[in-house]
Structure formats: structure tokens, C-alpha cells
Chain A
Amino acid sequence: DADVTQTPRNRITKTGKRIMLECSQTKGHDRMYWYRQDPGLGLRLIYYSFDVKDINKGEISDGYSVSRQAQAKFSLSLESAIPNQTALYFCATSATQGERETQYFGPGTRLLVL
């Protein structure tokens, strides 16, 4: 079984709809992240959480919200989806390890907003 899972893997929705993307991890990591990827733009950070009670905005948090329900679960919500939120969304996790810290990525959720 994959260590970092994302659901759904693909989603088509309409403008104005609320949508939630979910991420779960079995690695026991304390840190979790949400990124979005657009063609030719690399990955950009939306939100990150260093533990259950810690939530931080990333570079592009407008239009998004998150919930850290447990150490293993981190959800991303689009309250009112718009077409320019069409993208590939990745969840990632890491353990606090200073210089040796690396992130492990989920398989991604492809979202299309019509």
C-alpha cells in the first residue's frame, strides 16, 4: 500500500461548487503539505502544517482552506471552485529531520473546474 494516498485521483466539477481533496499518510510524519502544479510552473505551495495544531499559508492560499483532522490526515478545500483552480494537486509529508528532511509525495489529484 502507498504511504501517501490522495482521494479522489481525478475530479471534474463546476464553477462555484465546493470540493474537498483528501490526503492520508501511514508514514507517521508530523509535517504535511499541499502543492498545486500548473504546466510549466513547477510546484507551488498552498498550505502546510507542522503538527495537528499548526496551519500555515503558503505562496498561493487565496481561494483555499485546509483542515488537519489528525496527524495522518490533511484535507484541502476549495470553497467555491473557479476555472483557474484547474491543476494537478499534490499532498506531501515529511518528518522533522533538519538537513536530512525530505518530502514524500502522493500520486496527485487532477482537478478540472468547468
Chain B
Amino acid sequence: GENVEQHPSTLSVQEGDSAVIKCTYSDSASNYFPWYKQELGKGPQLIIDIRSNVGEKKDQRIAVTLNKTAKHFSLHITETQPEDSAVYFCAATPQGNNRLAFGKGNQVVVIP
């Protein structure tokens, strides 16, 4: 099955700086890659996603890039703010089903 790994596990950034989280996946058949943000004690919230026919997608301060050849995708957060502090999960799923395989999460801390 699909195996997703996230790096680094913890990331601290100064407010206003950029944060980048990278995920690698193992199944070349995977074609959908969402990113979720989870605040303490709450359910994950989808913040951005990308499909395999697109190399990059942007939504205001958040962007996701996909490198299918290298089998990795990254979340980019620009102009970080304290409310960006959370755990971020990446996931991947092969075409034909919604059985998401999640990474273990990345704790992002934005220092005011």
C-alpha cells in the first residue's frame, strides 16, 4: 500500500517568514494529494489539495507543489502568522479510491 512520510517533524519559524513542509510517497499510482491543518483537540481541516495533472496550486498565502518524478509534494506557507501554528498532515491516495494514506504530521510553531 501507499506509504507517506513527512519531514521535518517539527518546524519553528519567525512570524513573517516562510515555512515549507515536504512529503514523499511510495505509490506512483497516487494521484490526489491533500494537506490538512489540525489544531489541538480538533478535527483536521482541508487547506489545499493538488491532483497529479497539476504541478502547482496556490491559494493566498498557501501553495502546494508536486514532483511526480521524485514522488514528493510540498506545502509552502508565506508570511506566516501565529494562527498558522498547528499540526499539518499530508496525504496521498491512488486513483480509484478515497483511502487516504496520511503522513505522521508536522508541528509548525510560528514565533511572534
Do A and B associate with each other?
no
